[in-house]
């Protein structure tokens, strides 16, 4: 079984990887991995997500959009 993952940079200035991870889990029951402090990762702006099926990916993108719009720069 191959695991397909993507590492994303959190572009918003006022949200960290840790904040995003917590918001998605508590508000949308979606788990992503905060990469803060991981070897080879600098800063607090990177997360890892698993690429799944289209339905799950669409749910993730909608949740990400909702979180994104709550944190307007």
pLDDT the model gives residue 59: 94
Lookup: tokens for 48: 């890892």
**Number of Cβ within a 10 Å radius of residue 12:** 14
pLDDT the model gives residue 9: 95
Q: Are 36 and 16 in contact (CB under 8 A)?
A: yes
pLDDT digits (tens, 9 = 90+) for 6-61: 999 999 888 999 999 999 999 999 999 999 999 999 999 999 999 888 999 999 99
pLDDT the model gives residue 71: 58
Q: Kindly report the pTM of this predicted structure.
A: 0.85
Q: Mean pLDDT score of the chain, rounded to an integer?
A: 90
Q: What are phi and psi of 25, to 5 degrees?
A: -70, -50
CA distance 49 to 5: 6
User: What is the secondary structure of 19-39 as a DSSP string?
Assistant: HHHHHHHHHH----EE-TT-T
């Amino acid at each position: 079984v191959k695991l397909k993952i993507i590492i994303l940079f959190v572009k918003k200035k006022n949200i960290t990887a840790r904040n995003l991870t917590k918001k998605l889990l508590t508000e949308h029951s979606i788990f992503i991995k905060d990469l803060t402090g991981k070897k080879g990762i600098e800063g607090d702006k990177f997360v890892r997500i698993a690429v799944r099926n289209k339905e799950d990916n669409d749910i993730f993108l909608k949740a990400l959009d909702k979180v994104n719009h709550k944190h307007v720069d």
